[in-house]
Structure 1
Amino acid sequence: MRLAQLTDCHLLADPAARGRIGVPLRQLEAVVAAVNRQRPDRVVVTGDISQDETATSYRLAERVLSRLDAPWCWLPGNHDRTDRMADCRPLPEALDLGDWRALLLDTHVSGREGGELGAERRSALDASLDGDPRPTLLMMHHPPLPVGAAWLDAIGLADAEAFWRVVAPHGQIRGVFFGHVHQAFRGVQALADREIPLYGCPATSDQFLPDSPTFALDEASRPGYRLIDLGEGEFETWVERLDP
């Protein structure tokens, strides 16, 4: 089973509008074509679909993402309007991946760049994990740990400590995958009895400079995506980027 992660498309209503570097719609089209060549079984888009939160931007995203040869779904990021996303396409909370499953966590908080699960969604996560022992991936927009860039760490997951208290008793969680950081990232969260790996993903749009204390673009890096190959209780993951 192969899963692909796309993230941070930042589309605008005008299909020809430029982002900071390049045209977001054209970049997304190129990433979708590249992902199809990898033949994933499922695709998850982990938020910031839109930059301007317009209904038109979501229709553009749905049109391009529907060129994927695999079934796909999305979850919201801080730039998104969940109501307008849902008008285009449902927002599932879980994916059945055969011997595995993925839980799609909504960390969006209206009007805030940072994210939060909140007590109700944390409780739902706990109940979902109690109900299914299969190896599980958690996918979300905001990172639940520092990534080493002060400006990004200030707008991560506000209730990260409470999140990890929910995660700790559930040994079936194999990894956490997030968007928001516009860069490849690997980190580890140490728990009392094990370590959980965490992974950030390049954006389909502009890339951020790793380890920068203030906002900075990584103009040398290209748009990309992440692949996750699921095996017997273990997985392999790596990043692919567009050809120059």
Structure 2
Amino acid sequence: MRMLSEKINMIKSAKLKDNIVKVIQLSDTHLFADDDADIFGAKSNIKFKEVVEKILDEDSHDADIIFLTGDVSQDETDQSYQKVIDIFSKLTIPVYWIPGNHDNFERMKVVFKDAKNFFQARHLTLPGWNLIFLNTKDGYLPDSELALLKNTIATLAGDANIAIVMHHHPAEVGTPLVDHYILQNRNEFWDIITGTQVKLIICGHVHGDYKFKYRDVMIESTPATCLQWQQGTKDLKIDSKIGFKIYYFTPADYTAIAKLW
């Protein structure tokens, strides 16, 4: 954890002059041990490499953090998680990761444990913001995660905004295909955060760029790196675009921009 705290301090020090922290969110990579394997016709390993190359070319020079928000693997193999480490090898940005429902959480922890710049963080402090990372691997928040959320919010002092980073979306995005797989115990989740300093929820899972307000909280999701589900669809309809999302945090607010091509 020493390296983690040092990096956080570096972020704070480096950004105090302009008060901006740049975060890149990557999600739903659905990687395989075999580069030729595909998900619904998309070779997800190749697509992920393309996304990272674009980040290297255009966005990594001033980015501070990467959020890897679940469904990293499709086949749950150690090799698929090693692919992430290998593909990220040219990046020096710290990666904060959480699992998704397609991940083997135990193997994910083992493979990422000693990887340079990979952190399974639960709480991260930025100027003006506290970020809480939650595990919704099984489609819901177990009692331990609900307790962590409640206790962390209770212990955070001051007027700083709170952002929650999790895989599953806790409110419908308007696409029935993915809303069928919404966070199962979302009512318990909202009971905890309503009326608190939570201002933003960042999630993956939905394979699409969504941005909307629900109960006075902004919800943001990122395009997947492998493929998107057509927005509004009830059936399995694919949009072959790939992408990611960029967040710019200031002490008082944030902005988000999706990159999709």
| Length-normalised TM-score, structure 2 | 0.84
Separation in 1, partners of 2:81, 2:89: 12
Structure 1: which 5+ residue stretches go unaligned? Answer: 110-114
Runs of 4+ in structure 1 deviating by more than 3 angstroms, as ranges, are none
Match of 2:242 among 217, 223, 232: 223
Q: Aligned to 1:14, what secondary structure does the other structure show?
A: coil
Q: Partner of 2:202 in structure 1? A: 177
Deviations 1:184-239 (A, max 9, x none): 1112212xxxx1110111001011111101221113xx211111101122001110
Q: Partner of 2:170 in structure 1? A: 144
Tell whether 2:226 aligns with 1:202. Answer: no
What's the offset of the Cα at 1:136?
1.9
Q: Partner of 1:59 in structure 2? A: 82
Deviations 1:134-159 (A, max 9, x none): 32211111000111122311111001
Match of 1:35 among 26, 35, 55: 55
Deviations 1:4-52 (A, max 9, x none): 1000000011023233243211211121122232231000110000001
Q: Aligned to 1:12, what secondary structure does the other structure show?
A: coil
Match of 1:186 among 193, 199, 211: 211
Q: Aligned to 1:66, what secondary structure does the other structure show?
A: helix
Separation in 2, partners of 1:99, 1:129: 15
Deviates more, 1:67-76 or 1:95-104: 95-104
What's the offset of the Cα at 1:82?
0.6
Separation in 1, partners of 2:214, 2:227: 27
Aligned sequence identity (%): 26
Q: How many residues align?
A: 230
* C-alpha contact (below 8 Å) 1:174/1:234 kept by paired residues: no
What's the offset of the Cα at 1:100?
2.2
Q: Partner of 1:48 in structure 2? A: 71
Separation in 2, partners of 1:208, 1:49: 17
Separation in 1, partners of 2:187, 2:235: 24
Code of the residue aligned with 2:123 in structure 1: it is A
Code of the residue aligned with 1:69 in structure 2: it is T
What's the offset of the Cα at 1:70?
1.2
Q: Partner of 2:260 in structure 1? A: 241
* C-alpha contact (below 8 Å) 1:9/1:48 kept by paired residues: yes
Q: Aligned to 1:73, what secondary structure does the other structure show?
A: strand
Separation in 1, partners of 2:153, 2:68: 22
* C-alpha contact (below 8 Å) 1:104/1:140 kept by paired residues: yes
Match of 1:26 among 25, 36, 46: 46
Deviations 1:32-88 (A, max 9, x none): 122232231000110000001111111111211333231112110010011111002
* Cα RMSD after superposing both structures: 1.5
* Structure showing the higher helix proportion among its residues: 2
What's the offset of the Cα at 1:119?
2.1
Separation in 1, partners of 2:154, 2:91: 33
Q: Aligned to 1:74, what secondary structure does the other structure show?
A: strand
* C-alpha contact (below 8 Å) 1:103/1:138 kept by paired residues: yes
